[in-house]
Structure 1
Amino acid sequence: MPPRRSAGILLFRRTPQLQVLLGHMGGPFWARKDDHAWSIPKGEHGEEEDAETAARREFAEETGHPAPAGLIPLGVVRGSKVLTVWAAEGDLDADAVVSNTFELEWPPRSGRLQTFPELDRAAWLDLPTARTKLVKGQLPFLDRLAELAGA
């Protein structure tokens, strides 16, 4: 069975220090967690779909904003999924982020489906703060961005 694939875009800005836009994962499993409960806007895609196309689609779905034009490849990290990420310099209002939703039976075995946002909020974070918030499997992308940006 081929590995699950995911792709995303790490938006960054310089104000003057480097900041990244991350989203807090939505749903009941993440509701009371903050450290290592934030993510790069990303999502799964099939083997037949181009990873950059998927990253652009997922960014738009998870932020409610179109993906930026100029993408800089940050490479791949292999864990439970194969995650491919691009960086892009840009700015958007984190408070205006509106994510798509998913349905989940909640509480478990209740028979009730509830709707939750993929990302329940977004924020611009400096790199030291982002290191404490980002899920551990995505941390290598912060290092790659810092190297690329000379931070």
Structure 2
Amino acid sequence: MPQRSAGLLIYRHTAGVFEFLLVHPGGPFWARKDEGAWSIPKGLIEDGEDELDAAKREAQEELGVGIDGDFQPVGSYKQPGGKIVIAFSVETDVDVNAVKSNVFSMEWPPKSGTMKEFPEVDKAGWFTLPEAGLKILKGQLAILDDFLERRRGAD
């Protein structure tokens, strides 16, 4: 069974334009990557955990703030590596300059025997749809498309 993650597509509507909050992964592998490297805040669903609860927990861990609002399911997306991402949307505003992520440890440099800590998320940003389409991981692009399709249907 493939791994399952849950995440939040956090958005705001400013002057008639949608903006989406995306996070950039921390650590040395992602340090010099930008386009196609950003993600919605997301993470693995623990055994027996509700998908929306997992999405909210992961967002809090990666952003350092609790997210509240009217959560709507967006869809389920198979990533190129096989993982399934379940996405929910929520309209709220987050100060991306105040983001404080949890950390993870890894051996760095490789084979050095030295463990270093890195933030799970090293930055967050608000992006318009065209910008978000360039920044987001290819496997998550459909989340943006499906969100907008659902919004069109609701108007």
TM-score clears 0.5: yes
Work out whether residues 37 and 135 of structure 2, in 8 Å CA contact, stay in contact via their aligned partners in 1: yes
- Correspondence for 2:13: 14
- Correspondence for 1:68: 68
Deviation >4 Å, runs of 4+: none
Shift of 1:46: 2.9
Shift of 1:69: 2.7
- Correspondence for 2:146: 144
Work out whether residues 7 and 84 of structure 1, in 8 Å CA contact, stay in contact via their aligned partners in 2: yes
Greater displacement, 5-14 / 40-49: 40-49
**Quick one: distance in 1 between partners of 2:134 and 2:11?**
17
Secondary structure class of the residue paired with 1:39: coil
Q: TM-score, normalised by structure 1?
A: 0.95
**Quick one: distance in 2 between partners of 1:58 and 1:49?**
12
- Correspondence for 2:45: 45
Residue ranges of structure 1 left out of the alignment (5+ in a row): none
Of 107, 116, 132, the match for 2:118: 116
Determine whether 1:134 maps to 2:136: yes
2:138 corresponds to which letter in structure 1? K
Work out whether residues 5 and 47 of structure 1, in 8 Å CA contact, stay in contact via their aligned partners in 2: no
Q: Root-mean-square deviation (CA), in Å? A: 1.3
**Quick one: distance in 2 between partners of 1:99 and 1:12?**
19
Shift of 1:90: 0.7
Secondary structure class of the residue paired with 1:108: coil
1:121 corresponds to which letter in structure 2? K
- Correspondence for 2:98: 96
- Correspondence for 1:35: 35
Work out whether residues 69 and 92 of structure 2, in 8 Å CA contact, stay in contact via their aligned partners in 1: no
Aligned length: 150
The share of aligned pairs that are identical, in percent, is 47
Secondary structure class of the residue paired with 1:34: coil
Work out whether residues 63 and 97 of structure 1, in 8 Å CA contact, stay in contact via their aligned partners in 2: yes
Residue ranges of structure 2 left out of the alignment (5+ in a row): none
**Quick one: distance in 1 between partners of 2:150 and 2:92?**
15
> For each residue in 1:36-63, what CA deviation from the matched residue of structure 2 results, as whole angstroms up to 9, or x when unmatched?
1101000012342211110010011111
- Correspondence for 1:23: 23
1:3 corresponds to which letter in structure 2? P
Work out whether residues 133 and 141 of structure 2, in 8 Å CA contact, stay in contact via their aligned partners in 1: yes
